[in-house]
Amino acid sequence: MLKILIPTMMLIPTTWLAPSKHIWPSALAHSLIIAIFSLLWLSSPGETGWWLLSNLMALDPLSTPLLVLTCWLLPLMILASQNHTSAEPVNRQRMYLMLLTSLQIFLIIAFSATEVLLFYVMFEATLIPTLILITRWGSQGERLNAGTYFLFYTLAASLPLLVALLILQKTTGSLSLLPLPYAAAFPLISVADKLWWAGCLLAFLVKMPLYGMHLWLPKAHVEAPIAGSMILAAVLLKLGGYGMMRMMVVLEPLTKELSYPFIILALWGVIMTGSVCLRQTDLKSLIAYSSVGHMGLVAGGILIQTPWGFTGALILMIAHGLTSSALLCLANTNYERTHTRTMMLARGMQMLLPLMTSWWFIATLANLALPPLPNLMGELMIITSLFNWSWMTIVLTGGGTLITAGYSLYMFLMTQRGPVPQHILALNPSHTREHLLLALHLLPLLLLILNPTLVWGWTA
Amino acid sequence: MCSLLRLRAGARVAAAALNRGPGPGRRARTPLKVGDRALPGHVLLSQSLGTSAALRKDFMKEVESQLSSIKQTALDALPGSSWTPLQVNPNLPPERADIVIVGGGVVGWSVAYWLKQKERVREEVKVVVVERDPTYSRASTVLSAGGIRQQFSLSENILLSLHSAHFMRNINDHLGVLHEEPVDLHFNHSGYLFLASEEGAHIMEENYRTQRYAGAKVSLLSPTQLKEKFPWINTDGVVLASYGLENEGWFDPWTLLSAFRRKAISMGVIPCSGEVTGCQYQTNTVSTRDGDQVTLRRIRSVKVQMPNSLEYQPIECSVVVNAAGAFSAKLAQILGIGNGPEDSMAGLPVPVEPRKRYIYVMHCPDGPGLDTPFLIDYSGVYFRREGLGGNYIAGLSPQTDEEPDTRDLEVDHQFFEEQVWPSLAHRVPAFESLKVTSAWAGFYDYNTFDQNGLIGMHPLVNNMYFATGFSGHGLQHSPAVGRGVAELIMEGGYKTIDLSALDFRRILHQEPMLERNII
């Protein structure tokens, strides 16, 4: 565990002490080495639930895939940010890298925490670097609004979580995740217990985000710089999912009834956000709303509390993290060239940058859950487990899948096909860096087809 | 789905236009009365004497005004000041826009309107129109004589005018805003009358054929027919005349500009008062097939200076449209177009410069009657009727070596005495006794290369579109030009009229497309 954490912490002195022309190569190389070492975590011992166990941190089949995703994403974020920060003074670039690294450290500790309160503190701590990234490096005046929405939605929902955790600490005596599943079931009957149940889950539902509380996500995504969007879409949303999966064990037996409205809200959100995507004009906003839809499915899968549901949720989280991040990187390559996020003004890109079209195609197909990609595996398992709970959900999930396919293809056809406007005829050709970035996103996704057992959690 | 929405939106506007109160050709709310004339296709023809208030009670407006008054009383009741931590100047343009149109004349606002018209979803593109003079004191649009004709020799010009005339005849279907007054352009369909002497007659005949082929309704008149139709003309020296029967005449340019502006703003275009004084661009050096190095520029942001202030706002944009009219070359110079070695592409400046033209208002009680067309003599002198009180406006394009000074808009009355009046009096004997009541001067955005419009992208600046250099016929082409530029930007090519002959290539290849008019 420390094998990865200490080098990540050391990345901060690296960025501050490296000479200015070596910052980006050295940060990239350093984070890439950390990422490759983190892949070793995937070779699990298998029998025991936890490995690499220590007082505070441990790995288990739920947190390992998310941790590997987090470590994998840091070099990708560094690759993606190189261009738009190149015009800034050196110290600001160092600051940027330090923010990304500190975010990484908080996320690693959060996912590997064995103590729920440590997880909570790290969960809150990730808000600060993200807020600084959005409000300082965002491109428009609306970024202040976006930062406010982002901070206060999550903060307001997570304060009840703190209270709920303290209550849990009082009743069980310990908040360690290791004995928590084996603790005696609590008699949860009063209204206060129901409020406690809601308090436990609300923070994670807002983070996921659940459809009714999702307003912060499109704003934050659109205003954030590319690295901020990537980490937001790929990992920070999964913090919500991971937290929910951890907390579910103590919330029995209330979940059977109380989760009803949230499952329905999540599924309705899939349809609604999909419909919104069909008439979106802003590319990044489209991808943000599609994230809300996918995470709605994840929320449904977790709240249903079956092995298939959990497995599907975990696979979908990993696959969506890679896909969404890839789509955001593609949108960024478009934005850096044409300087607009409006899809109408940058059409027919296939004629201009045909190699990018192949990446767009793979990422779009992943987004619409094409078999045999893990996106489909996750979605299918969640849909099946929901169908098992109630046959009527198939209407919502089926319609949602249809609309998802619709808007993914709409996005592809709008950006890649169509008449080429004259003002984008002369564009910078694709850089190797951009191809590398997208390859590093989509190659793991394709490799996961071959061995999905790595990411499917406890049902191994 | 999107075309359905557009159909419904169009139907809404049309229904609103139809349901408005009594207006020319609109269905009236009062029942049909005996003696009301009906035109085919319209229910009623009755004239409304214009009002300045909205013609229909708008429930939402009343509710909004009540709510705002309630809010104001509540705010007054509460203690506190209106200070906010973010002290922003509300007049500043936004920091980012998709398309910035430099120039708020009729061409600029036409482009803005058509861009919004072509978007499929509300607020798909963010359009900002930057105009440095909100009083339009030196703008060509409002100082124009306001004529529209299809009698050109280039088929592109003919088609542009034809489409613009159709647009203006149905202007309320296009530019009508719900709950607002309908647009009344005062379009006088009196037609243009071109007179040709012996030398120019064959050119007139060829032009006539081109015009008829393109769809213009023009007729040729012999001197006797001319004298029969317009007895006040002296047909001395006239061998042939060409008279426009439909879609020609004159209209009020200020109303067209305001209508475009009002409609575009109602559709979400952001107007901004300011001057573009600089821009940031990124350069890319590429080599052509012959091995020459060419620097391509891509505008990243446009710096807009607020009027009478040091404040400025850089607008990050993706596309810039240069509709600055007579002052387009100055904007192009900011970008460095024209700075380069003489023979190369980079050394070619944008060939648009302001040329001053005078218009004189005369009063002649015994002058030609109400059916006077816009008459253009072969000597270059022109006049038209203005209003119903025996007033006329006249002018003449000076010789190329006698171009007046363009530093100001002062009128040279000697010019009228020496050059305009003699030809006028020769052609229309009634004008021997007239009184000049007033005069003004305006700029042509004169294309020094071939006096025809420049529409399209500059080869060296990757995201700047030009719509300028119309040399006196910008106003009459503005609706169609706006549509063309909007099609270029949003759809990648011309869909209604093919204007690719009017782009920069003819300047690069030095092949002028001159109008073979007899003036």
DSSP B137-198: SS-TTTTS--EE----SSHHHHHHHHHHHHHHHTHHHHH--TTSPPP----B---EEEEE-T
Residues 345-364 of A with CB under 8 A from B: 345-348
User: What local confidence, expressed as pLDDT, does residue B214 receive?
Assistant: 93
CA distance to partner chain B, nearest, from residue A344 (Å):
7
Q: Hey, is the C-beta of A431 within 8 angstroms of any chain B C-beta? A: no
User: What local confidence, expressed as pLDDT, does residue B87 receive?
Assistant: 67
For residues A425-436, average pLDDT = 91
User: What local confidence, expressed as pLDDT, does residue A330 receive?
Assistant: 96
CA distance to partner chain A, nearest, from residue B458 (Å):
10
Q: Can you read off the two tokens belonging to residue B57?
A: 């009670």
Q: Which amino acid is at A317?
A: M
Angle at CA B175, nearest 5°, toward B169 and B177? 135
Give Cα separations from A183 to A173, A174, A383 (angstroms). 10, 10, 31
Q: Hey, is the C-beta of B123 within 8 angstroms of any chain A C-beta? A: yes
Give Cα separations from B265 to B111, B272, B305 (angstroms). 12, 11, 21
What residues of B are in contact with residue A426 (Cβ under 8 Å)? Answer: 284, 286, 296, 298, 462
Does pTM surpass 0.90? no
User: What confidence tier does B81 reach under pLDDT thresholds 50, 70, 90?
Assistant: low
pLDDT one-digit tens code per residue, B153-164: 999 999 999 999
Q: Is A423–B319 a contact, with Cβ atoms under 8 angstroms apart?
A: yes
**Interatomic CA distance for residues A320 and A270, integer angstroms:** 14
B36 pLDDT exceeds 60? no
Q: How many CB atoms lie within 10 A of CB A394?
A: 13
What residues of B are in contact with residue A423 (Cβ under 8 Å)? Answer: 318-319, 457, 462-463, 465, 489
Q: Is B490–A342 a contact, with Cβ atoms under 8 angstroms apart?
A: no
User: What local confidence, expressed as pLDDT, does residue B321 receive?
Assistant: 95
Q: Is B493–A339 a contact, with Cβ atoms under 8 angstroms apart?
A: no
Task: Name, in order, each residue with C-beta under 8 angstroms of A109's C-beta and a sequence gap of 6 or more.
Answer: A5, A57, A118, A122
% residues pLDDT > 90 (chain A): 78
Q: Can you read off the two tokens belonging to residue A349?
A: 């890109």
**Interatomic CA distance for residues B257 and B112, integer angstroms:** 12
The neighbouring-strand residues paired with B439 are: B360
Q: Hey, is the C-beta of B268 within 8 angstroms of any chain A C-beta? A: no
User: What local confidence, expressed as pLDDT, does residue B82 receive?
Assistant: 64
Omega cis (within 30) before A13: no
Q: Hey, is the C-beta of A340 within 8 angstroms of any chain B C-beta? A: yes
| Minimal-distance CA residue of chain B relative to A334 | B318
**Interatomic CA distance for residues A332 and B113, integer angstroms:** 29
For residues A316-320, average pLDDT = 96
Q: Is A420–B124 a contact, with Cβ atoms under 8 angstroms apart?
A: no
Q: Is B300 exposed, middle or buried (0-12, 13-18, 19+ CB in 10 A)?
A: middle
Max Cα–Cα distance, chain B, nearest Å: 83
Of B94, B119, B493, the CB nearest to A344: B119
Of A140, A141, A345, the CB nearest to B98: A345
Task: For residue A378, give the 3-state DSSP assignment.
Answer: helix
User: What confidence tier does B347 reach under pLDDT thresholds 50, 70, 90?
Assistant: confident
Residues 387-416 of A with CB under 8 A from B: none
User: What confidence tier does B9 reach under pLDDT thresholds 50, 70, 90?
Assistant: very low
What residues of B are in contact with residue A345 (Cβ under 8 Å)? Answer: 98-99, 125, 318-319, 489-490
Give Cα separations from A152 to A198, A203, B284 (angstroms). 18, 11, 44
B19 pLDDT exceeds 60? no
Residue with tokens 């396919």: A405
% residues pLDDT > 70 (chain A): 99
B32 pLDDT exceeds 50? no
- Start-to-end CA span in chain B (Å): 50
Mean model confidence pLDDT for chain A: 92
Q: Is B318–A422 a contact, with Cβ atoms under 8 angstroms apart?
A: no
- Give chain A's length: 460
Is the Cβ–Cβ distance between A408 and A368 less than 8 Å?
yes
CA nearest to A328, candidates A297, A298, A285, A357: A285
Residues 251-280 of A with CB under 8 A from B: 279-280
User: What local confidence, expressed as pLDDT, does residue A300 receive?
Assistant: 94
User: What confidence tier does B291 reach under pLDDT thresholds 50, 70, 90?
Assistant: confident
CA distance to partner chain B, nearest, from residue A219 (Å):
16
User: What confidence tier does A458 reach under pLDDT thresholds 50, 70, 90?
Assistant: confident
Q: How many CB atoms lie within 10 A of CB A333?
A: 26
